[in-house]
Structure 1
Amino acid sequence: MKVLNYPLDIDKLHTGANRVFKIMDDHLADREFLELGRATIADTACFPYTALAGEGGIDLSPYKNVLAWIERMKRLPGFIPMPGIAAAN
């Protein structure tokens, strides 16, 4: 939105994103990955958007399970860091 100058409601977008991250955080409370007990295409698809949420002004600190999941994803064999997403701590 900011880079391409789209006329969108940032507050509404943040509200929606936080709603989704709360659902994701609750879902990850008793599992390591989104489904099947291992990383799947679902994790791969959701990871970059989630890991880069801070660039969109979303604070992930309230979502401890999401943050732990991000670190697990970074520790997967073959993980390659990208701009904005560093290697595991």
Structure 2
Amino acid sequence: MSEGRDWNAKGKRRGEDSPARLKVEGEVDVPNPGAEAELVEAPTGINPDYQMLRVVVTQRDGGWPQEITPRKVKWKGDVSPTTTDVHVIDYAQIKVDWE
């Protein structure tokens, strides 16, 4: 697994026939101050109750010192109200905290 910390997943159910809303946050390390990170949705695996996300790192142009730099990441989206876990590929497995 890659370096990451402070993960949380908070969900809010809206109604019986409506999708639920999920917010996932955490922090990852990138290789230098010129790199940005974001959480994006990944294809669902074999368990439909898991929301799959992945971290995408993008390097800005320019010469940057090679020093590990923390970046906060977050994702918001609609999910099934039966979602129980979030899997951030290579980083974390998080239980959803439902309101």
TM-score w.r.t. the length of structure 1 is 0.25
TM-score w.r.t. the length of structure 2 is 0.24
Structure scoring higher RCO (CA < 8 A, sep ≥ 6) equals: 2
Computing the radius of gyration from Cα coordinates, the structure with the larger value is 2
- More helix by percentage: 1
- More strand by percentage: 2
